Chains A and B, each alone.
Chain A
């Protein structure tokens, strides 16, 4: 058996391919958050606590923290920053662990949305 491993050729990267930095470089290689993953539409907001050690925050984390000054969701933040959703979830989890952001509402324990909320949505959709 040959010792030469058939290494995949580097593919040419064009402008369409997006950022050159590999997405998990900004999470320092982590592919999962430490805590339970944040729901895609969980509302998050900055707590107003000052970071203990500002330089410890990476540039994407600082950007996310700034964006969280207005309540936002991981899905919105991923779109806004252009970072992969999973990466955003990991970075947001870091900010949450440092008490720099928090969930606006207690996490839902129900698998089904509140029927009253669904009724409101139905009315709104019909009027759209």
Chain B
């Protein structure tokens, strides 16, 4: 796998790689939610890498109503996608992708959701309606998802029952409250999603 010595990059460890560090299996989880709902915080709470942001580009592929005021004249503009990673034993890597929830970003979701474990719909109980489109998307495409309501300070606490009713989701869709700043809480959401994903596969 080595190139000529002149090609060597001093920044690469090169020889120091242990075989068990090599990735063998990769899995994706999508984190969908509106701006400011806490996607970056959620991804950062469990990611082994500092919450990296990768830019995805909105091109002509994004149709639909575009209300990006001030940038209407641009044919491309970049949107940030939160990206996190958890490396597990046996070369398993779990990737988290936080993407904006609006319909105009769905072309990005299509890429992420194919073959994915599932999705976390991160909801803000003060603006639950902003999550309806995300729920529609995953229901229509048959992608397992859980709803995690971020517990903002000063926001009225709703019960999961109330949230479930407002979101009108199937009874088997897990709905939970989550403080996305807490690693343990986010781990709990991930565990719930993977369990749901397993049941979901069985049921099909």
Residues of A within 8 A of B (CB): 8, 18, 23-24, 31, 37, 39-43, 45-48, 50, 66-67, 69-73, 75-76, 78-79, 82-87, 104, 108, 110-113, 115, 117-122, 124-126, 128
Q: 9 pairs across A/B with beta carbons < 8 Å?
A: A23-B76, A67-B12, A78-B55, A79-B49, A85-B54, A86-B56, A117-B27, A121-B88, A128-B46
For the complex with contacts A118-B194, A120-B92, A121-B92, 8 further pairs of A-B residues with Cβ separation under 8 Å are A31-B57, A40-B28, A46-B3, A66-B3, A76-B85, A79-B52, A85-B81, A113-B115
Interface residues of B in 1-31 (CB under 8 A from A): 1-4, 7, 9, 12-14, 17, 22-28
Q: Nearest Cβ distance between residue B50 and chain A, in whole angstroms? A: 10
Known contacts A42-B26, A128-B187; A121 and B194 CB within 8 A of each other: yes
Interface residues of B in 81-119 (CB under 8 A from A): 81, 83, 85-86, 88-90, 92-95, 97, 111-112, 114-117
Determine the distance from Cα of A18 to Cα of B55 in the docked complex, in whole angstroms. Answer: 11
The stretch from B149-157, B159-167, B195-203 touching chain A is B195-203
Q: Are B95 and A41 in contact (CB under 8 A)?
A: yes
Interface residues of B in 168-197 (CB under 8 A from A): 187, 190-191, 194-195, 197
Q: Nearest Cβ distance between residue A69 and chain B, in whole angstroms? A: 6
Q: Are B117 and A113 in contact (CB under 8 A)?
A: yes
Residues of B within 8 A of A (CB): 1-4, 7, 9, 12-14, 17, 22-28, 46, 49, 52-57, 59-61, 73-74, 76, 78, 81, 83, 85-86, 88-90, 92-95, 97, 111-112, 114-117, 187, 190-191, 194-195, 197-198, 200-202, 204
Q: Are A66 and B12 in contact (CB under 8 A)?
A: yes
Q: Are A75 and B54 in contact (CB under 8 A)?
A: yes
